[in-house]
Amino acid sequence: MADDLASNYTELKNLYDRLGAERDQEDETETRFMKALDNRLKGLGDLLEEAYLFENKPERFLKTFKDYVKESSAQEFAFSDLRYIVNKKYCGIVDYLQKTYSDLSESDLDLCSMICFGFSSNSIRQIYAHTNPDSIYNKRSKLRNKLKLGPSIQIEGFIRNLLAELSRKETA
């Protein structure tokens, strides 16, 4: 579990660094989002440290992990900020999805926004503090149904194609 957590932490840290380099320093919403992501990353880092410290005491690590999940679930992650940033940077994709697919919930739009930003399923699972690895796949499956995607179409590919189409329309 510690190795899996380390891999997810590294992946999320790399994404955080990339987003930090690309962010608009003057935009208060982007700053707030990066701060929320930084807090989540610090929490994961602390949890990773605990995993190695209590390697031979699994019951102690399990308690720390449960506390982390409880605390993470109680914190707001600033998803509305994420939707705003993605909409601004990616040709109004959130507005388009909301208008075109009226069944999408805010949670669905959050997931689409994270996919637009390049978050992997594991990173998204960590951000949501899901303890069950299958939970993100259930969430993605429900999203696929709402987007009416065929079995051969991946959500990431669908979003990439949609971004390309919106970009063409914007430049036309």
- The pair of three-digit structure tokens given for residue 98, joined into one six-digit string: 């909301």
- Residue 48 · residue 6 · CB < 8 Å: yes
pLDDT-based confidence at residue 170 (cuts at 50, 70, 90): confident
Q: How far lies 130's CA from each of 50, 88, 126, in Å?
A: 18, 28, 6
Domain total of the chain = 1
**Higher pLDDT, residue 85 or 17:** 17
pLDDT-based confidence at residue 135 (cuts at 50, 70, 90): confident
- The pair of three-digit structure tokens given for residue 163, joined into one six-digit string: 């971004």
What proportion of the chain, given as a percentage, has pLDDT over 90?
A: 26
Q: What is the mean pLDDT of residues 78-92?
A: 79
φ, ψ (nearest 5 deg) of residue 19:
-65, -40
pTM, two decimals, is: 0.64
Angle formed at CA 48 by CA 47 and CA 50, multiple of 5 degrees: 65
Residue closest to 123 by CA, chosen among 11, 47, 36, 41? 11
- What range defines the domain where residue 121 resides? 2-171
